[in-house]
Amino acid sequence: MPALLSELTTLRLGGPARRVATATTTDGLVELVRGADAAGEPVLLVGGGSNLVVADDGWPGLVVLVRTAGLAVQDDGDTVLVEADAGLPWDDFVARTVAEGWSGLAAMSGIPGSVGATPVQNVGAYGSEIADVLESLRVLDRSTGAVEDWPAARCGFGFRTSAFKHTDRFVVLTVRLRLAVGPDAPPIRYLELARRLGVEPGERAPSARVREVVLDLRRSKGMVLDADDPDTWSVGSFFVNPFVPRELVPDGCPNWEVDGQVKLSAAWLIEHAGFHKGFGRDHVTLSTKHTLALTNRGGATTAELLDVARVIRDGVETRFGIRLRPEAHLVGVEL
C-alpha cells in the first residue's frame, strides 16, 4: 500500500506517494535522485516534513526520505567549522552545538525540520538566521548531475529566501557552519527575547539560557511540535512577513527596516483584518496561540486548509491592500 504524505508531514496532510525510498548516506541520496531523474520520475525530498503542504492527490513519483546523519567538526581555536548532513534533525543539531559550547544557533532552537532545509528558505528566528553562520554547502545540481560546493555568497540569501527557494534543481547535501567557541550567544537583537532574558538589545547572554527562553517562547505560540497539541499540527508560520514601501505601512503595524526595505508583521495584518486566534471552519483553524499558523485540528484535507488560507489572504488584501504569500512549500497545489 502506498505511503501517505500525511504520515510524513507535520500538518498531517497529503495523499499517497507512488514510491518511497530512504537515503541514509549522502552518496545514497545522490544515487536515488540521479536514478529517478534519469528515468524521468518526479522526486519529492522529505526531511522533517515541517514546511510541506502536499496535495490530497499525493505525489506521482518518488518520495525520498532524507535521513543522512553525518557530522564532522574542524576546531580552529576561536571558531569551529561544523559540517552537517542534510538529514540531521535541526533542533537536535542546535542542542548539540549549545552543549558543545559553539555559539551562533541558540536563538533558532525549537525550529522543526532538518539541517538541509535551513538554507532553502534561510531559516531564522528571534533576530538570527542561517545566513549569519553558513560558510558553504554542498549541493547536487539535478540539471547536470554534478555535486558542487557553493560558498555562502552564491546562495542568494534574503529574508526567508535563497537561490534554492523556488526551484527543485538543487538538492542540499551538507551544510558547513562557522560557529564561535564560547558560552555566550551572539548579541541579542530581538526585543522580545532580550526582555525575557533580562538584557538590553545588543547585549549577550549564555547560549544555554537563550535556548531555554526561546523554547519557552515557541511553546507559548504552539511552535514546538507536540503530538498531543493540534496547535502544533501546522507548518509553523503559513504566511511570510511582507515587505512594502514605507507609504503602505498601516497605522500601528509593527515594522522593521531590513536591507533598506520595510518588513511588516503578517500576524498583525491577519488579526487586524478580523481573523483572530482560532478562526476557521470545519477541521482547519488558525492556531489558538498564534495567528500565523494554520492548523489541522484532525480529519482535515489540504483543500480545506487552502480554502481557509485564501479567505485570510483575500481578507488582508481587501483591508490593507497588501497580499500575503505563503512561506510554506506547496506541493501539487496553489494558493
Where in the sequence numbering do the catalytic residues fall? 160, 237, 327
CA–CA distances in Å: residue 234 to residues 224, 296, 297: 10, 7, 9
Report how far residue 22's alpha carbon sits from residue 79's, in angstroms, rounded to the nearest whole number: 34
CA–CA distances in Å: residue 268 to residues 28, 192, 215, 221, 282: 44, 16, 22, 14, 24
Nearest to 275 by CA among 238, 227, 228: 238
Torsion of CA 324, 227, 90, 139, to 10 degrees: -70
The strand ranges marked E within 224-279 are 243-244, 255-258, 261-264
Cα 326 from chain centre:
12
Confirm if 297 and 288 have CB atoms less than 8 A apart: no
